[in-house]
Structure 1
């Protein structure tokens, strides 16, 4: 009596023509795949830089201080960063202690000297006593 060892690897034999032609295993190409991924990353990076330069935050504003707070006004001092020589239009808002908007204005920031950063002051009229002021945003003058 002969014994069959379970550890022997036996390749199955299929009847010819019954299951179609067996394919040879294909070689993988990791170098080609890595090169395609690298090219995709470079192209995506270049597109991102181009879009950031075209639509990025060239115009920005921030409040430096607010003073002269009364029941009907607030004086806002804010700093604006723009492309050199360009004017800007900034939107200012005053809020009351409960968060309600009590004052709103679009302010033209002229840039006669062609500076990149400017500080401007604006007296904003309000409908109630303001608690704080903010620059909502700045954009190019159209």
Structure 2
């Protein structure tokens, strides 16, 4: 029969001294390593966010839908306004959708602001393959 000490909690394993090496202290942490990993992770996320912003986000190029008219079985006319840098130009993607939401036509149009102006109002006909229900401006980007 083995000897039981009164300081050992019931159910806790009893290891022979020196057999399994030294046990770790329960409160020992590595805060420097953890802080370094968090800093690297935040830097990586910042780089990804910056790259996506440069690729997809252009706050200087903002499209505003005015109206869509002239709906027939083969077209819709879209009126829209684009805010862009003074004297700049943008390529805008227009889309026509049917009543069930399917895309039935799209068109790309390049608009250019006069020198010193920041807004351009444009009208573009979007050819369609079926009767459209709505015309819309999806996005505007800097002209290539």
- Counterpart secondary structure, 2:39: helix
Contact persistence 1:109–1:120 (CA under 8 A): yes
For this pair of structures, how many residues does the alignment match? 135
Instruction: Give, in whole Å, the separation in 1 of the partners of 2:89 and 2:139.
Output: 14
CA distance in 2, matches of 1:38, 1:117: 44
Matches of 1:84 and 1:8, distance apart in 2: 84
> Would you say the 8 A contact 2:75–2:126 is kept in 1?
yes
Match of 1:57 in 2: 57
User: 1:82 Cα deviation (Å)?
Assistant: 3.8
- Normalised TM-score (structure 2): 0.64
Q: Does 1:23 align with 2:25?
A: no
Q: 1:8 aligns with which of 6, 9, 28?
A: 6
In the alignment, the residues of structure 1 paired with residue 106 and residue 15 of structure 2 have an alpha-carbon distance, to the nearest angstrom, of 84
Which structure is larger by alpha-carbon Rg, 1 or 2?
A: 1
Q: Which runs of 5+ in 1 are unaligned?
A: none
Q: 1:85 to 1:47 in 2, by over 3 A?
A: farther
Aligned pairs for 1:37-56 within 5 A:
37-56=37-56
Determine the structure 2 residue equivalent to 1:91.
93
Output the CA distance in 1 between the equivalents of 2:92 and 2:141.
6
In 2 relative to 1, CA 30–118 (structure 1 residues): closer, same or farther, beyond 3 Å? Answer: farther
Give the structure-1-normalised TM-score: 0.64
1:114 to partner: Cα distance: 5.2
Aligned equivalent of 1:106, options 105, 108, 123: 108
